[in-house]
Amino acid sequence: MAETEIIDVSEIVEKQKLSGFLIGLVVISWIITFFDGFDMISIGFIAKPIMTQFKLDPVQMGNVFSIGLVGTLIGGFGLGWIADRVGRRPAVIYATGAFGVLTILLAFANGYASLLVLRLIDGIAIGGMLPVAWALNIEYAPRKYRSTIVTVIMIGYSFGAAMGGPVANWLLPIYNWPAVFVFGGVLSLVAALALFAMLPESVRFLTTKRRDPARIAAIVRRIAPQRKIPAGARFVLADEGAKTSDFKPAILFQGELKWITPMMWIAYIFSSMTAFFLANWGPIVIMSLGFSREAANWSATANSIGGALGGLLLMRFTDNRGAIAITLMPLIAIPLLLIIGLGDTAPVNILGLSLFFYVQFFAVLFLIGGHFGLHSIAGIFYPSAYRGNGAGWATSVAKIGSIAGPFIGGFILSSSLPKPEIFAVLAICPAVFVICIFVVGTLHSRLLRREAAMPAGGAAMAPGE
């Protein structure tokens, strides 16, 4: 009887080049992440007319921002759990369709209570999709491209968030704020249909779960057309060994993960606090400094693009140097935030623009660039058996900061604290971020050195082993 051939799927994934298959996966993931970002952040650009129509104060509006982020926390836990059981593909498709429908329903909100309820449920779908999409792409990407690919995908989120400003400036004078939600929701539904037609399931997930070998073989042939797959071949993941599929939170703290996981979570909390304060309250804070609504919206758009640029600047350093490269971004952001908060940049004009806008642009570039760096490493330390849970738990715990940022911002804006000094207070967040990610980066460098010292063909050791 012929011996069954064993095929190492991880080796095939690792040796693949930037093929049309991999590029296509990144493109479709970028598109859905674009609409995820638009649907999540666009409310910040239309907050003022919503507050006016429903007579909301800053604290109430802060609650509307924060309740959506509570939803993303729930979604990160829930969708990560689902994705590790039924698959990445169905989790991403259904989440995208759900947030498309719910974003449209937000256009029909008739008061504070309905805004809170719809924003909460919408946030569950929005927050659940992102970590699962990262996990899917990480499981198809060779190690040398993983941070780059996740960063490129997250640039879709930034560009989607950035589009909120131009779309709001276009639609508000004609159709008022509900049109912005309808615009984002309809296009998200179109993206869900495209996903149904084009999105593959993770080949690592299928192999870990010992799903249909014919389906795995078909995907392997797309990744490596030259590879011959005999009938009856058995597929394994040599770089992960035998991993349990029964997820328990304690798994996230085994071995070196006992330091990596909590430090990642704390860094994520403080980074998210800054990112979502700026995303939700940024336009209103800028208007409170005396600038027009149009200028505030365009500034927020420029800041989103700047954050994407920061991610692009960082991604190859992260792939080549490891997580330690991320520390530079928040470190540079700290003095820039202090300059805005403690200096007097608004009256100074350069080339027709206030110096405030220039300094804020670079501060956000480094803040959000560092945040992108966290996204790019959120799932790399966990094996395929529970990568969805690992990334989902990290991004869900991060929502503590995401929720706190807008919520605290509402109270600060209602207080007597001078508005520029808010930026100086924010400098605390990247300072904590630097310390935590330095610890993670140091451990990651050790893991990379250990991997480089292993003999060719040896199975890489995961941090939890």
pLDDT, mean over the chain: 80
CATH architecture of the domain with residue range 9-453: Up-down Bundle (1.20)
Q: What is the pLDDT of residue 206?
A: 86
Residue of 12 and 417 predicted with greater confidence: 12
Question: In the predicted model, what is the mean pLDDT of residues 32-49?
Answer: 84
Residue of 171 and 78 predicted with greater confidence: 171
Distance CA(355)–CA(296), nearest Å, equals 14
Q: What is the pLDDT of residue 308?
A: 74
| Residue 105 clears pLDDT 90, i.e. is over it | yes
- Give the bridge partners for 129, in sequence order: none
Distance CA(236)–CA(243), nearest Å, equals 11
| Region of poorest pLDDT, from 105-119, 122-136, 439-453 | 439-453
| Region of poorest pLDDT, from 196-205, 283-292, 346-355 | 346-355
- Give the bridge partners for 354, in sequence order: 349
Question: In the predicted model, what is the mean pLDDT of residues 337-351?
Answer: 69
Largest CA distance in the chain: 84
| Residue 244 clears pLDDT 60, i.e. is over it | no
CB of 223 closer than 8 Å to CB of 21: yes
Is residue 458 very low, low, confident or very high in pLDDT (cuts 50, 70, 90)?
Answer: very low
Contacts of 243 (CB under 8 A, 6+ apart): 208, 383, 384, 385, 386
pLDDT digits (tens, 9 = 90+) for 329-342: 889 989 988 888 77
Is residue 1 very low, low, confident or very high in pLDDT (cuts 50, 70, 90)?
Answer: very low
Q: What is the pLDDT of residue 415?
A: 66
| Residue 268 clears pLDDT 60, i.e. is over it | yes
Residue of 187 and 15 predicted with greater confidence: 187
CB of 165 closer than 8 Å to CB of 300: yes
- Tell me the H-state helices in 199-288: 203-208, 213-223, 257-288
Q: What is the pLDDT of residue 331?
A: 92
Distance CA(251)–CA(396), nearest Å, equals 17
* End-to-end CA, the chain: 36
- Report the percentage of the chain scoring pLDDT > 90: 9
Q: What is the pLDDT of residue 193?
A: 92
Q: What is the pLDDT of residue 272?
A: 84
Cα torsion through 116, 117, 123, 126, rounded to 10: -130
Distance CA(36)–CA(95), nearest Å, equals 10
Q: Count other C-beta atoms under 10 Å from residue 335's C-beta.
A: 12
CB of 318 closer than 8 Å to CB of 324: no
| Residue 36 clears pLDDT 80, i.e. is over it | yes
Is residue 457 very low, low, confident or very high in pLDDT (cuts 50, 70, 90)?
Answer: very low
Distance CA(25)–CA(199), nearest Å, equals 7
| Residue 460 clears pLDDT 60, i.e. is over it | no
Question: In the predicted model, what is the mean pLDDT of residues 121-126?
Answer: 87
Is residue 350 very low, low, confident or very high in pLDDT (cuts 50, 70, 90)?
Answer: low
Distance CA(100)–CA(107), nearest Å, equals 12
pLDDT digits (tens, 9 = 90+) for 157-178: 878 877 877 888 888 888 889 9
DSSP state of 236: E
Top-confidence range, 5-14, 190-199, 314-323, 407-416: 190-199
| Residue 41 clears pLDDT 60, i.e. is over it | yes
The residue whose two tokens read 């330690």 is 324
| Residue 226 clears pLDDT 60, i.e. is over it | yes
Is residue 452 very low, low, confident or very high in pLDDT (cuts 50, 70, 90)?
Answer: low
| Residue 431 clears pLDDT 80, i.e. is over it | yes
- DSSP notation for 318-368: HHHH-GGGGGHHHHHHHHHHHHHHHS--TT-EETTEEHHHHHHHHHHHHHH
State the amino acid at position 271 in one-letter form. Answer: S
Residue of 315 and 428 predicted with greater confidence: 428
| Residue 324 clears pLDDT 90, i.e. is over it | no
| Residue 459 clears pLDDT 50, i.e. is over it | no
Contacts of 229 (CB under 8 A, 6+ apart): 7, 217, 220, 221
Q: What is the pLDDT of residue 162?
A: 77
| Residue 189 clears pLDDT 90, i.e. is over it | yes
| Residue 300 clears pLDDT 50, i.e. is over it | yes
Is residue 385 very low, low, confident or very high in pLDDT (cuts 50, 70, 90)?
Answer: low
Residue of 95 and 238 predicted with greater confidence: 95
| Residue 390 clears pLDDT 50, i.e. is over it | yes
pTM to 2 decimal places:
0.68
| Region of poorest pLDDT, from 58-62, 194-198, 235-239, 348-352 | 348-352
Residue 296, CA distances (Å) to 45, 250, 367 in order: 9, 45, 19
Q: Beta strand 6-8 with 353-354: parallel, antiparallel or unpaired? A: unpaired
Residue of 264 and 348 predicted with greater confidence: 264
| Residue 125 clears pLDDT 90, i.e. is over it | no
Residue 255, CA distances (Å) to 11, 259, 450 in order: 24, 8, 14
Question: In the predicted model, what is the mean pLDDT of residues 7-14?
Answer: 81
Residue of 348 and 427 predicted with greater confidence: 427
| Residue 347 clears pLDDT 70, i.e. is over it | no
| Residue 121 clears pLDDT 70, i.e. is over it | yes
